[in-house]
Every structure is written in C-alpha cells, then in structure tokens.
Structure 1
Amino acid sequence: MAAMLAEQTVIFIISLFVVVKSADYFTESAERVGLFFGLSPFIVGAVILSIGTSLPELVTSIAAVLQKHSEIVIADVVGSNITNILLVLGVSILFTKNKTLKHNAALVDLPILILSAFFIYLAFKNSNFGFTEGVFSLLALFIYILYATSSKKIDIEEESKKLTPKEPIILIISLILLNFGSKYTIKSVIEISKILNISTGVIASTVIALGTSLPELLVSATAARKGKLEIAIGNVIGSNIFNAFGVVGLASLFGSLKLDASTAEYGIPFMIASSILLGFIVQNKETSRWVGAALLVFYCFFVYKLFL
C-alpha cells in the first residue's frame, strides 16, 4: 500500500508539473500577443493571462469528465477560485510596491465575478449541471470577453515584443503536453483518494486546485513584484470568471457534472464569501500588506476546515 501510494504520488507530481509548465509557456506567448495589439494591462490580465493560466483547470476538468469522475470538475473550480482570491491575491498584495488601482473593476468586472459565483450555486442546486447550463455559462463568458476586449487600449510601447514564427509551435506543443499531463493527473488523484480513503472532491478542492493555480500565483506575484498590481488583480478576476463560466461550461459539453457533499456544503459558500470580500478590496482602490496577510490566514482556515 505504501509503495503504491508513493508511486501514484510521484506520477501526480510529475504530471501536474507538466500541466503547469505547459500552461506557463502558453501564457508567455499569449501575453506578448496582447501587448502587441495594445491591450491595457488589466485586460491582458483579465482576459489573455486568465485564460492561459486557467488552462490547467480546463484540461484536468475535461479529463475528469471523460474518466467518469465529473465531481472533480466543480471541486477543482471552486477550490481554484478560492485559492486565487485568498492565496494568489494575498501573496500578490504582500509582494507589490504599488497599492493603487486605476482600472474601475467595480463597475462591471466584479459584479460579473460575484454573479458567476452565485451562478455556480444556483446551477448546482439540484446537484447536476447539464448541457443547458453549460451553454448558458459559455454565452455569459463570451459576453464578458467581448466587453473586456472592447475596453480602452493603450499605445504599443517598446516593452511589447514582436511576434515570431516559433510562437504557434510553442502553442501547439504546450497544448499537447497539457492534454498528456492532465490525463495522468486525474488518474493519480483517483488512485490516491482510494488509497487514503479521502473523497476526490476534497483532494480536488485543495491539492489539485493549488497545483492548477500555480500559473496564476507565479504570473500574479511576478506582476505585483514589478509594481503591476492591476495585472495581478485582473488575472485573478478573469481566471475566476473563466473557471466559473468557461471551465464548467466546456466540461459540461462532454457529460453531466455532479457535485460532491464537501463542495456543496462548504466549498461553494466559501467561494461566494471570498468573491464578495474581493469586491470590498478592489472597490477601495487602495490596499495594504495587512490585507494580503489576512487573505493568507483565511486560505489556511479554508484548507483546515475542509480536511477537518
């Protein structure tokens, strides 16, 4: 039993590393494309980087549905959204030197984020998420992307790099590796949950959610350290909206999604509360290191209560 657990743990770590690293390469290319076309830093974070850094959640969710473990999808999405707000944003605020926001995300972006959290609650109220709900969520995501990409653009500066022929190649290779890594990530999680007698929902909300949120953490922390807090917050908001509408919606096209007990009773309410908390933080347009520290404490509390 111990040998089997060690084997599956090694497979999980390697496959998750492949997923995260592949998404990282994709994200770098996507960021250059956005800046090349003159998109604002917030929009680069909210749309391009958020979709790129949410690829691990997307590919692992589709793999989970295809392997008949659809309860992993919503557990991963809920856990990732909580991780993004409390851990990723908490670390970003601690790292950043610039604590002032210029983009008024409170007008549209935050209401859509909070709406997406309540949408998850209402859509899964009967424990199942089907094709109709999936189409609705994808339509909502499409409308948000149209709004975001039509926002004011910026002038192309020297920092925007020219597009090179190698980027489509990097994109294709990274997508292949994402698919490969996600398949074995889900397989190993299923085996580990059986060995430890822990529900796949709990593991998906914590271990998988943390692993698939590493791209958001790395991108946001790096942007914040460079004084670009708007990119970090835009990345968190956009990633959560994409997770709630895009990941769940696309995964539902491959099969009906189920909801496990721990996610229903604890995960979803905590996600809604975290989204509302983010609204208060962004609305002030000023933040401090104490806010970042408090978010990290809340994240530790979330993980503790879920395993308890």
Structure 2
Amino acid sequence: MDTLLLFIIFVLSTLVLYKSSEWVLKYSLTLSKLIGISTLVFGFIVVSISTSLPELFIAIFSYTYHEIGLSIGNVLGSNFANLSIVLGVSILFGGTIYLNKKDERELIELLFLSTLITLLIFQEKTLSVVYGLILLCFFGFSIAKFYRGGKVGKEFYEKGDLRKVVILFILSMTILLISSHFVVDSALQIASLFNLTSSFIGMTIVALGTSLPELSVQIRSIKYKEYGLAMGNIIGSCLTNITLILGVTSILAPVKISVNSLLELIPFLFISIFVVWYSISYKRRLTGFEGMVLVMLYILFILEVFSII
C-alpha cells in the first residue's frame, strides 16, 4: 500500500477514534442515569467489557485457527499496560483524578480481587476447563456484586429514549473499536516500512494499540471530571481480562503457564498495582506525579525487556 495512503488512514482513523470516544462517554453518562447505577459501576460493567472486546475476539479467533495466542503473559501484560502507560498518560493529558469515599472503597475491592486472582493463577501449571468456569463464575459474581452496590436513583424516561440511547451507545462503541483496529493496522504497516523489528513493534505499537479504546475513554472521562467512569473502566478492564478473557481461553483450550517467561513482568505489574492502591487509599486522588511514575514504570519495563538496562 502507498506510504502516503497509510499515513492518511492512520491520521483519519485516529481522528475518528478521538471523536468516537467522546460519543462513548456521552452515552455512557446518559445510560448510567437512565438505568440508575453509578458511573463507576457502569464503567466497570459496560465500558470496560466493551473496550476488552478486541482481546476476547483474539482469543476466540485464535482457537478457530488452532493457535491459542492468548496466554497468561498476554493477560498480565495487558493489565500492566492499563495500570501503567494507559492510566499514566490519561492522567498527564486529562488531569488529576479525584475520588470520593464510596468510589475509593469499590476501587480498592476491585484491585484486591484482581491481585488475588493473579496470585492464585501462579499456583496452577495449566488452566483447565474447570479453572476457566471458576473464572467466569467469579466474573459474573463481580458484576452482580458491584451492580447491586452501585444502584442510584433513576431518571424518568420514555421507553423510546432508552432504546435510542442504547443503540447510539452500541454504535459509538463499534466505531471506537473499528477505528482502533485501523489505527493499529496502519501503524504496523508504517512501522514495517521502516524495518522495525517485530519484537519492537509488538512491545510498543501493538501493546499500545490494543489499549487505545481504554486510553481514549480515559482521557475524555478525566477531562469531563467523570472520575468514577474513568477508574471503573481501567480497573474493571483489568478484572475483565483476568476473569472473562482468561476464562474463555481456558475453556476453549488449556493454557500452559510458563512462570519463567513472566519473571520480568511480575515485579513491574505489582509495583503499578501498589502505586494505584496507595494513591487511592491514602491520597484519594491520582496526580501528575503518579502519572509520571506509572509512565516511567512502563518505559523501564520496555528497557528491561530489550536488555538496555
């Protein structure tokens, strides 16, 4: 494909991605009010699952082609990217995240559950169908728990209004996911023109590209001061990855865990979890300082992987 055309596709799809994230935020807020749940819980239940759809489709299609490409390393790597580069960049560009006491308690519970599941996974050598079913049940339990705890007063609406908002939300989320695909695809082709190594592309462009939906929604949410939606999205996405995505993959085919291949990632993952947990628990906010720390953590991980440090 012509280089100029690739750049045009990249720029246009990036613009569409940015605009569609605004639509997702707009209809997320409207839906949360109409159905009577907090924005944090809506971000966890609906937005985080929607932005994790690329990972879910990858798991399903990998099985279809008899190549299970989604491993425990992919899941933990995605969670680390969400808690470091995605959250860090969104804070730096969107501004400080402030949290109220109720949101603080729910987020700490989510972080605890995600961390606990991560630790339990390392006790197994292979994720079987039974383990996959347990993960899916835990995912369902988490949704039910936070839905019940996140109910607030509903706004009066006509049935036609709710139907319209649901359709517009689904449409905007679809556009967000499709535009993300074109951004990643065009970026990969541009990178190949400059003879960048596949490992470099995978650790940078692909890793960041698959997190574009979360990042776009994050920045928009913070700019509009919808902090509950932002944090529900990012931490909910982590829980979704490690329960729903890994659960589906385990049921489709057993996933072997190579602990040795994850030794470089694990320390960075838990440091990022600690930084977020500490900021939520004791400061009740995430500032530009925490954003810089999280971004630097991701950069250090990349340097470590490529044996630069």
Which bracket does the TM-score occupy, shorter chain normalised?
Answer: 0.7 to 0.9
Q: Deviations over 1:176-205 (max 9, x none)?
A: 9979x98xx89xx9xx8xx98856xx8666
In structure 2, the residue matched to 1:115 is 116
Report what 1:52 is aligned to. 50
Q: In the TM superposition, what are the counterparts of 1:15-54 in structure 2 within 5 Å? A: 32-54=30-52
Compute the displacement of 1:64 (Å): 2.5
Q: 1:65 to 1:40 in 2, by over 3 A?
A: same
Match of 1:236 in 2: 234
1:155 to partner: Cα distance: 2.9
1:272-302 Cα distance to aligned partner (Å, 9 max, x none): 3322332112112133211111111111112
Distance of 2:107 and 2:170 partners within structure 1: 33
The question of 1:300 aligning with 2:299 is answered: yes
1:246 is aligned to 2:244: yes
The within-5 A match list for 1:140-219 is 140-156=138-154, 162-165=161-164, 167-168=166-167, 171=170, 206-219=204-217
- CA deviations on 1:156-190 (whole Å, 9 max, x unpaired) are 4599x9323585598499779979x98xx89xx9x
Of residues 265-274 and 150-159 in structure 1, the stretch that sits farther from structure 2 once superposed is 150-159
8 Å contact from structure 1 (residues 76, 205) kept in 2: no
Letter in 2 for 1:235: N
SS at match of 1:108: helix
Give identity over the alignment, percent.
25
Distance 1:221 1:304, change over 3 A: same
TM-score w.r.t. the length of structure 1 is 0.75
Deviates more, 1:269-278 or 1:150-159: 150-159
Q: Distance in 2 between matches of 1:38 and 1:66?
A: 39
Structure 1 residue 43: deviation in Å?
Answer: 0.6
Between 1:223-232 and 1:32-41, the stretch displaced more is 32-41
**Contact residue 107 and residue 232 of structure 2 kept, 8 A:** no
The Cα offsets for residues 123-157 of structure 1, whole Å up to 9 and x where unpaired, read as 4xx2x322121111111111111111001423345
Is 2:265 the partner of 1:267?
A: yes
Which range is displaced more, 253-262 or 142-151?
253-262
- Count of aligned residue pairs for this structure pair: 293
User: Aligned AA for 2:123?
Assistant: L
**Cα distance, 1:237 vs structure 2:** 1.1
Native 8 Å contact 1:43 1:234 kept in 2: yes
Q: AA paired with 2:120?
A: F
Structure 1: runs of 5+ lacking an equivalent: none
Aligned residue for 2:149, secondary structure, equals coil
Alignment match, 1:137: 135
Amino acid at match of 2:118: A
State the TM-score, normalizing by the size of structure 2. 0.74
Q: How many Å separate the matches in 1 of 2:302 and 2:31?
A: 36
1:222 matched to 2:223? The reply is no
Conserved 8 A contact 1:89-1:236? yes
1:101/1:172 CA distance change after superposition, 3 Å: closer
